A and B are shown apart, each in its own frame.
Chain A
Amino acid sequence: MHDVGAAFAAAFRLIGEGDAAFFAIVGLSLRVTLTAVAIAALIGLPLGAGLAIARFPGRSAVIVAVNALMGLPPVVAGLILFLILSRSGPLGGLGWLYTPRAMIAAQALLVLPIVVALTRQTIEDLWSEYREHLASLGLTGRRAIPTLLWDARFSLATALLAGFGRASAEVGAVLIVGGNIAGATRTMTTAITLETSKGDLPLALGLGLVLLALTLAINAAAFGASRVGARVAGAT
C-alpha cells in the first residue's frame, strides 16, 4: 500500500517540480503518438472507406487480414521496422533508426489497421443507408467517400481514439526502433520500463499515473467534443 502512496507522491513531484527532462519526455510521447495517429488517419480513413464500398475478389480476405492486424504485437511491428530501417536494411540510408521518425512510423503501423478496420465497419453501415441517395446525386464509387467520411466523423473520432490508446500505451515497438535514448527517443512508456528495471518502482508507477492522467484527459476531451458535435449535427 505504501508503494501506491509513494507512486502518487512521485507523480505529483514530477509535475510539481517542473523537471525539464520530464516534460521533454511527455512532450516527445505526445508528439510521436499524435503524429502517428494523424498519419494513420490520413491513410487509414480513405482506405477504410474505400474498402467499405469497393467490391472486388478477395475483399473478404483483405477484411479478415486487416481485422487480424489490429492484434499485431507491437514488438513484432517494431522488429519488422527495425530490420527495414537498420543501416543494414533496405531503408537504412534514411538514417531513421533510433530517431523519433522511426517511432512515429512504428506507431503509425500499429494504429493503421485499427483505423482501417473500424472505418470500414462504420462506413459500411452508413453506406447502406446513404447509397441510393448518393447514387441519385451521381456520387458513386470513390466520389461517395468524402460525404461518408464527413457524416461518420463522430464515430470515426472513436476509431482514432482507439488508435491513440494503442499507440500511447505501447512500449515494445518504440523501444526497439527508438532505443530509449535519454533526451532523444525516451518516451513515457520506455521511461517506465527503464525505471522498473532500475528498481525504482514508485517512480515508474508515478510516470504511469501521469501517462494515465494524460490519456484520460485526451479521451475525455475528444469524447466530450464529439458528443456535443454529434448532438448538434443530429448524428446520434
Chain B
Amino acid sequence: MTKIVRRALLAAGLTLAMAGATPAQTPFITVSSTTSTQDSGLFGHILPLFRAKTGIEVRVVAQGTGQALDTGRRGDADVVFVHARAQETKFVEDGFGVERRPVMYNDFVLIGPKADPAGLKGQKDVAAALKAIAEKGAPFVSRGDRSGTHAAELALWKTAGVDIEKAKGPWYREIGQGMGAALNTAGAMGAYVLADRGTWISFKNRGELDIAVEGDRRLFNQYGVILVDARKHAHVKTKEGQAFIDWLTGPDGQKAIADYRIEGQQLFFPNATQPGA
C-alpha cells in the first residue's frame, strides 16, 4: 500500500509542479484592493498603461477594505490600495505599511428606489436623509463587510445622530457582500443603499434604482495607497511595489486616473498632491 501511495503522491506532486509552472516569469506584484475599484473598471484602464511603461504586471485581488488590509497584514500582498483613512493610518502605525499616500477620490451616492418610500426627493443633506430612512424604517441595504464603503456608511449614521446598533431592525439588511452584490440586492428589495459613484455608473442592472442624494461634501471618498513593510514580511517586492506607487501618484498615473470615463463621466479625481488628502 505505502509504496503505491508514495509513488502516486510523487506523481501528483510532479503534475502539480508542472501545471503551475508559468513560462518566462514576468515581474509582477500583488495588490490587494477594493471591490469598488475593480467593479468600476478602473484597473482595467490604468494597469495596462503601467505595464507598458515598466514591464511590471499588477495582479489585483479585489476585497473589502478591511479584508484587503488583512491581506497586506498577512503578507499576501505587496501593496494595499484602499479607502478608509482611519484604518489605513492604523495599518501604518502598526508597522505593516511603510507610508500612506493619497491617490484620488470619488464620492459616495445614496441610491434608492424610484418609488422613494422615505421621501428624499430634493434632499441635499445626507445626514437628514439617513435620519428620515431610519425614522420611517424604509428598507436599507448595508454592505456589512468591513469595507471602506461600510466604514463610510457607519460614519454617516453617526453624523446623522442615529445609533445604528440600537436603531437597526428588520428594515436594515446587512448582507456581508461586495458593492455590486449590495446594489443587486437593493434593486431586488426596493431598498436604499450607499454606493461609490464609480460602481454606480458602471453598474448595469439598475432596474428601479436611482440616485437619491448626492453632492454632500460628507460623501467624499478618499483612496490611499500603502507599500507593505518588508521589515514585517521579507518577501515583499519593495522595488516593484514602490515603482507602482510612484507611478500611481506621479503625473502619468494621475492623468490615467483622470482619463478614465464611463459614458462620458469621470469616475475618480486624482489628488495625490493635495495636502492632507
What are the residues of chain A within 8 A of B43 when measuring CB–CB? 182
Q: State whether B59 touches A98 (Cβ < 8 A).
A: yes
What separation, in Å, do the CA atoms of A1 and B183 have in the docked complex? 21
Overall SS of chain A's interface = helix
Asked if A179 CB lies within 8 Å of chain B CBs, one says yes
What are the residues of chain A within 8 A of B5 when measuring CB–CB? 43, 46-47, 50
- Interface range on chain B: under 10, 10 to 19, 20 to 34, or 35 or more? 35 or more
What separation, in Å, do the CA atoms of A190 and B258 have in the docked complex? 29
Residue from A43, A101, A197, A201 in contact with B19 in the complex, judged by beta carbons closer than 8 Å: A101
Asked if A87 CB lies within 8 Å of chain B CBs, one says yes
Q: State which residues 12-40 of A face B: CB under 8 Å.
A: 31-32, 35, 38-39
Most-contacted residue by chain B among A31, A50, A183 (CB, 10 A): A183
Most-contacted residue by chain A among B1, B30, B181, B235 (CB, 10 A): B1
Asked if A99 CB lies within 8 Å of chain B CBs, one says yes
What separation, in Å, do the CA atoms of A141 and B199 have in the docked complex? 62
What are the residues of chain A within 8 A of B277 when measuring CB–CB? none
Residue from B8, B9, B177, B203 in contact with A198 in the complex, judged by beta carbons closer than 8 Å: B203
Residue from A38, A145, A180 in contact with B61 in the complex, judged by beta carbons closer than 8 Å: A180
Q: State which residues 220-277 of B face A: CB under 8 Å.
A: 233, 235
* Given contacts A43-B5, A54-B1, A88-B75, A199 and B205 within 8 Å (CB-CB): yes
Asked if A200 CB lies within 8 Å of chain B CBs, one says yes
Q: State whether B15 touches A38 (Cβ < 8 A).
A: yes
Most-contacted residue by chain B among A31, A92, A108, A199 (CB, 10 A): A199
Q: State whether A95 touches B20 (Cβ < 8 A).
A: no
Nearest CB of chain A from residue B144's CB, rounded to whole Å: 15
Q: State whether B59 touches A96 (Cβ < 8 A).
A: no
Nearest CB of chain A from residue B91's CB, rounded to whole Å: 15
Asked if A100 CB lies within 8 Å of chain B CBs, one says yes
Residue from A43, A47, A98, A104 in contact with B20 in the complex, judged by beta carbons closer than 8 Å: A104
New A-B pairs, 6, CB < 8 Å, besides A86-B74, A183-B59? A43-B8, A46-B1, A88-B76, A99-B20, A185-B59, A194-B38
